[in-house]
Amino acid sequence: MSMPVFKKVATATSFFLFALISFNVSAKISGLPDFTQLVEEYSDAVVNISTTQKIKKRKGNPHQTPGMPLDGPFGDLFRKFFEQQNFKKNNYQQDKANSYIQTRQTNDSLGSGFIIDSDGYVVTNHHVIRDADKIIVRLKDRRELKATVIGSDERSDIALLKIEADNLPVVKLGSSSNLKVGSWVMAIGSPFGFDHSVSVGVISATGRTLPSESYVPFIQTDVAINPGNSGGPLFNLDGEVVGINSQIYSRTGGFMGLSFAIPIDVAKDIVEQLKRDGHAKWGWLGVLIQDVNKELAESFGMKKPMGAVVLRVLDDTPAKKAGIEVGDVITHFNRATINRSSDLPLAVGRAPIGSNVNMRIIRDGKQKHLRVKIAELPAEEELAEKDSEPKETKSNRLNIEVVTLTREQRKRAKVENGLLVQSVEEGAASRAGIRRGDILLKLNGQKVKNTKQFLRIVKELPEDKWVRVLIQRGGSPQFLPLKIEE
């Protein structure tokens, strides 16, 4: 009699446990967000962007090893990633013997975007459409429309396009100011050319600063973002766009759990400027800075490490006029606390041009308040010229070492640009008659403005062909013929 009773109890217990487990599993499953309605409502406003660009094909070597291809749907994110790693922008590795132009070919790339206005305004990444000769926007209904660039900003990596169509579906723009780590988000885009692919994940961090990206506090997510997703929207659970998917961190070129999106609050400001002016303006202070570690904080008389210590103050800049000095630690800027040095460019960049901003610094162990008038951030070439510290480089193709002229040297030589020759070794430059102390003004018909540009010009010089070099020697300009032999 006892056995049947035990069986009944055991059966009842098993059923109870099974029901309990099923309930818990169901509860957990029902607790997960459902993205189906968001996809149905907003995916029509997400577009595929394809571009065509005429590129220079260089003389190749049949024994070269192919590099990572930058064309096709893989191109946009590969190119962005490999540029930061100092990879070549062409399809094959180059040697010193094949730098001249031979023919021209086309390079196609693929990205994503989203419609923000029913009149046809489309937002995407700058690097998706950079240098494009033709841009095609493909809608979900398979219409393909030619797009024009209203404006594009490299520093924020945002571009605004316009297509000619009416009553288009649009996304709903939200805010990125109140995002919380762990919140669910969804991306829609064209990874590897697969249109309107959906991937979901959570926000991993906010306010990330990436190498060579000083003006965007990126949103980090674990949403699967792959080549072709660039420029696509990042949605929250309310169906609002909170970011623009822009970059990935990868050792392979594919998704590895680290994706970065531009906050929509930054994007909205840039888009308005692009729509109004065709370009974006960024605030500028004019200092070189570094982080403050524990030891530096102690040396500055600070209780804890924070802020940005000033390494250099450039001439004729807002910082110079405001009285900022080398060794000052900037701890607060325009009501923003500067915890890390990377916080300062973000705060300065978004400050209104021409506005007067309060700053708090630590100088000689004491707090001090300064007021600075924000100027517009100059172009990269202007910034290079404003840097009074000489930059030097050595070119293996010419075997000369050059440095950037300081402001005083340019003034004395009465030149607007140029590089000072520091040394000349046996090679093409010495055969041309270039000497130590000469000022290089033009090379192959191009003005020499800075060392970075100089290296690019030298790299592209043809072999076994005479090119002209304009120098200044003893206050007098002079042309010299130069040839790089095979």
Mean pLDDT calculated for residue range 78-90: 44
Lowest mean pLDDT among 5-14, 108-117, 256-265: 5-14
Task: Report the topology of domain 283-377.
Answer: Pdz3 Domain (2.30.42)
User: Using one digit for the tens of pLDDT, what is the confidence trace for 22-55?
Assistant: 444 444 455 689 999 999 999 999 999 999 887 6
Residue 143 has pLDDT above 90, yes or no: yes
pLDDT of 308: 92
Mean pLDDT calculated for residue range 156-173: 95
Mean confidence (pLDDT) of the chain: 81
Residues of the chain with CATH 2.30.42.10: 283-377, 388-482
Nearest C-alpha neighbor of 423 from the set 433, 431, 435: 435
Nearest C-alpha neighbor of 117 from the set 39, 171, 46: 171
CB 203 within 8 A of CB 179: yes
Lowest mean pLDDT among 163-167, 251-255, 362-366: 251-255
Residue 465 has pLDDT above 90, yes or no: no
Name the CATH superfamily for 388-482: PDZ domain (2.30.42.10)
Mean pLDDT calculated for residue range 129-154: 94
Confidence of residue 105 (pLDDT cuts 50, 70, 90): low
Mean pLDDT calculated for residue range 281-288: 91
At position 52, the amino acid (one-letter code) is T
CB 264: neighbour CB atoms within 10 A?
Answer: 26
Residues of the chain with CATH 2.40.10.120: 33-278
Confidence of residue 464 (pLDDT cuts 50, 70, 90): confident
Mean pLDDT calculated for residue range 406-415: 81
pLDDT of 116: 97
Pick the CATH number of 33-278 from 3.20.20.70, 2.60.120.10, 3.40.718.10, 2.40.10.120: 2.40.10.120
- Do the strands 121-124 and 101-117 form a parallel or antiparallel pair, or are they unpaired? antiparallel
Lowest mean pLDDT among 4-13, 131-140, 431-440: 4-13
Catalytic positions, written as ranges: 127, 157, 230
Nearest C-alpha neighbor of 362 from the set 414, 311, 403, 307: 307
Query: What is this structure's pTM?
Result: 0.66
CA angle 317, 318, 322 (to 5 degrees): 120
Distance (Å, whole) CA 419 – CA 401: 10
CA angle 45, 186, 212 (to 5 degrees): 95
Cβ partners under 8 Å of residue 85, min gap 6: none
CB 255 within 8 A of CB 224: yes
Q: Torsion angle, CA of 215/220/226/228, rounded to 10 degrees?
A: -40
Q: Which residues pair with 417 in a beta bridge?
A: none
Mean pLDDT calculated for residue range 189-210: 92
Distance (Å, whole) CA 414 – CA 466: 28
Residue 477 has pLDDT above 50, yes or no: yes
* Residue that wins the pLDDT comparison between 186 and 102: 186
CB 252: neighbour CB atoms within 10 A?
Answer: 6
